[in-house]
Chains A and B, each alone.
Chain A
Amino acid sequence: MNTLFEIREKIIQFYYKFDAFIVPVLKLIIAFIVLHTINSRMGYFAKIDNVAIELIASLLCSFLPSGVILVFAGLFTLLHMYHLSIIVAALGVILYLILYILFLRFAPKASLVVAVTPILMLWKIPYFLPVVLGLVATPGSAVAMGCGVISYYFLRIINANSATIASMELSLSDAPDQLKLIIDEMIAGKGMIMVVCAFAVTLLVVYFLRRLPFKRNWEIAIGAGVVVQIVSLLIGDVIMDTGISFINVILVSILAVAIGFAIKFFAFCVDFNRTERVQFEDDDYYYYVKAVPKISLGETTGKVRRINRRHGGRMSFITGRTNDFYGDNDEDYTGEDGEYYSEDGYYEGEDGEYYSEDGYTEDGYAEDGLGEDLTEIPFEDK
């Protein structure tokens, strides 16, 4: 376990040291994956289906705010749609606009979630996302996740019907047909609403359980979240027959538990603080300050390894004296009675029990075996 803590500390220190490089590189990788997936799956517009363009866009995303990834993803999908049919592109603009105006403005910081959710849905592994977001984000990201799921289903319908759409000639009479085709499919595909609801419920359950002030709240939140997700997806499948692969759901849920525990392990000390580089001035000086967050080791490392010590520093029930009275020592000692005491004032009796100097165990049993169990008696009465 100690090795794990050491590794964690090293990782965190590495992160704080190089976060100015790590964050842009991560953004670059995410942006590239998102854009490349869009291009490889849609690819109707050959001019932007090019690794060089993907790389340039990803590079831009790497140093701009994370919301830009979503803007580029939206732009790429709209361009592909436009090349397929102007009506589909118009529908895409309307859908994105409504999603933004109605929902996404409540969670502007979660825009990355919107971009990543469709990709995870495509890879069929989105089931860990609600648990992870419940642990690290706010309830607002449920909205962002919902927008991502809706976008995924919209793009999937377009992809599935691209041949039909392309074959329709754009005329006044055909335009509503394209629109009808997509809207009918969206209304018929009940899986979308079910998945949005299941994910939102899971995220909220994890979030609120995690914030409740009881012991092991993180573990309970992760477990409850995974169970709620599996059950709600199962109920949804029974009612609406969505055809979700449950082996996949369960496997990814196990992954969610693992990721959840990993986050718990790190989140206690990282707390998502970042190294701050700030500039300010007062009457006398200009300050260029780099503030590095201290690692607070939190409760996970609160264990103290006790060596040669059976009973903690508690008060003797019989005499009312504390261990400190006997053993204000840093090492083991021999008492006046000739017994060999450990540093905290206990000696080992012949029966293997540990006794304090007055001959009683911590629970109030005398060495001669005649003592009574005093543990139930309130402290003042002893």
Chain B
Amino acid sequence: MLNKEKVILMTRMTAYEKGKGKENLRIGTYFRSDYIWAAILKAVFAITFAFIVGLALYIYYNYEVFLENIYEMDIISLLLSFRKYYFIVLIIYVALAYIVAFVKYALASSGIRKYKSNLKKIRKLQKGQ
């Protein structure tokens, strides 16, 4: 016999697994601290990459100046003079990434809690049959 309540629950859960739940269930496999640290690490890599690309563009932009003074200029100190900007941008961006990861995890875990309680209900229905 078909159990109407069970079909409704299973349909809801499958729809969740297919849609919103896909990402949430993936997030749910991490501990919160791990998830947030991974997000911060990704942010550091992203900003470092962007900064290196920006620096390369800057050098290319001032190509002539660099070419003329290549022997006289102290390239190391020039590069070090940029670190202030790097750290300011890094701190802002990492803070942003932290907030986003924190909120995402909180939203995902509330969705997963509901999903798990539905799982329990289905198990009970299964036993009751």
Contact = CB atoms under 8 A, between A and B. Distances in A.
A352 B84 CA distance: 81
B63 A97 contact: no
Interface stretch (B47-55, B69-77, B111-119): B47-55
Given A176-B63, A278-B14, A287 B7 contact: yes
For the complex, would chain B's binding face be called helix, strand, loop or mixed by DSSP majority?
A: helix
Interface string A63-102: 0000000000000000000000000000000100110011
B53 A94 contact: yes
Interface string A179-206: 1100100000000000000000000000
Interface of B: 2, 6-7, 10-12, 14-15, 18-19, 46-47, 49-50, 53-54, 57, 60-61, 63-64, 93, 96, 100, 126
A98 B55 CA distance: 13
Given A101-B49, A102-B93, A280-B10, A94 B61 contact: no
A278 B11 contact: yes
Contacts, number: 52
Given A183-B61, A287-B10, A289-B7, A102 B100 contact: no
B7 A106 contact: no
Contacts of B100: 106
A372 interface: no
Interface residues of A, number: 20
B61 A102 contact: no
Contacts of A287: 7, 10-11
A31 to B, nearest CB: 22
B14 A279 contact: yes
Contact of A280 (B14, B53, B54, B64): B14
> Which of A94, A102, A279, A285 is packed against the most chain B CB atoms within 10 Å?
A102
> Which of B12, B14, B54, B100 is packed against the most chain A CB atoms within 10 Å?
B14
Nearest to B1: A284
Nearest to A180: B61
Contacts of B15: 276, 278, 291
Contacts of A183: 57, 61
A289 B6 CA distance: 12
A282 interface: yes
B93 A278 contact: no
Contacts of B49: 101
Contact of B64 (A98, A176, A291): A176
Contacts of A98: 50, 53-54
A101 B53 CA distance: 12
A128 to B, nearest CB: 27
A97 B46 CA distance: 10
Contacts of B14: 276, 278-280, 289
B11 A101 contact: no
